[in-house]
A and B are shown apart, each in its own frame.
Chain A
Amino acid sequence: MNWAITTYLLAYGILLGYLIFLSSRIKKLIFKIDRAKR
């Protein structure tokens, strides 16, 4: 049971990590767009 849960946590953890990485890039872009508008 623990082994399966660890695996699921790892798999979805990697996915979440990548989503956080992408959202940080989106944040930077939003900042850039705001600056360009001004």
Chain B
Amino acid sequence: MKKLVSGFAVMNLLAVGWAVTTALTVWLVMMYAPVDAELGYSQKIFYVHIGSAAAMMIAVLSAFICSILYLVRRNLRADNYAVASAQTAAVVGAIVLITGMMWAKAAWGTFFPLTEVKLLIFLLLWVIFVAYIILRNAIEDSGIKRAGSAVFAVFGFLTMPFVLFINRWAEMPSQLHPTVITAHDSGMEPRMLVTLLCSIVSWLLAGAVLIIVRAKIAEIEQAFETLETK
């Protein structure tokens, strides 16, 4: 138990980094980043939207890696981290959805244009991770629960490349979602780019801290369960 409760040094460091970068991001968004000529202040939603999307992608990737590790080695620690990553992906995904919808209302006049393939695939990805949590709580047999949810997380990860690249892979008519950053050009003013990068770092740190905290909770709860069954 002592071993489980200790070992928080890395997490504390990440949490401090998260707090500092979040404060810096809010300052940059309010004071430093210029107001967009076309969208006005509503364009500033973009920083939180992209940042949270980056955190979600990392959480989905982490859920995938940990689930594969669990399926191959039956490692309980990997399973704990997979659950933590999936839960973080669902929470951060909700933020991506809401900020995206708010941005869409300001930019396109509608909250969720149903003709947008990228948005629909993202919604599917988010629903997969919400279903993961429901599935996790619904099944009682721990072996089936762990293996089933691991397979679910792998499927969730498989939809991620489509979310990221569908607008580049397939030429579809009248897709509104912009592709801001390409391999060669960010297409942004330097002050906007600095703000965006700071926001991405703060959200990535947030994702990492949330995953570690949630996984630690799962580990300690598991240790208690083992003690109680003994």
Contacts and interface: CB of A to CB of B under 8 A. Distances in A.
Interface of A: 1, 3-4, 6-8, 10-11, 14-15, 18, 22, 25-26, 29, 32-33, 36
A32 B222 CA distance: 13
7 contacts: A3-B42, A4-B45, A6-B102, A7-B45, A7-B98, A33-B5, A33-B220
A7 B103 contact: yes
A3 B14 CA distance: 31
A1 to B, nearest CB: 4
Cβ-closest 8 pairs across A and B: A7-B102, A1-B41, A4-B41, A4-B44, A7-B45, A18-B91, A11-B95, A11-B48
A14 B141 CA distance: 31
Interface residues of B, number: 29
A14 B98 contact: yes
Nearest to A6: B102
A36 to B, nearest CB: 8
Interface of B: 1, 5, 26, 29, 40-42, 44-45, 48, 52, 91, 94-95, 98-99, 102-103, 105-106, 206, 210, 213-214, 217, 220-221, 224, 227
Nearest to A18: B91
Contacts of B48: 7-8, 11
A7 to B, nearest CB: 4
A28 to B, nearest CB: 9
A22 B210 contact: yes
B106 A11 contact: no
A3 B224 contact: no
Contacts of A10: 95, 98-99, 102
Given A14-B94, A33-B1, A22 B102 contact: no
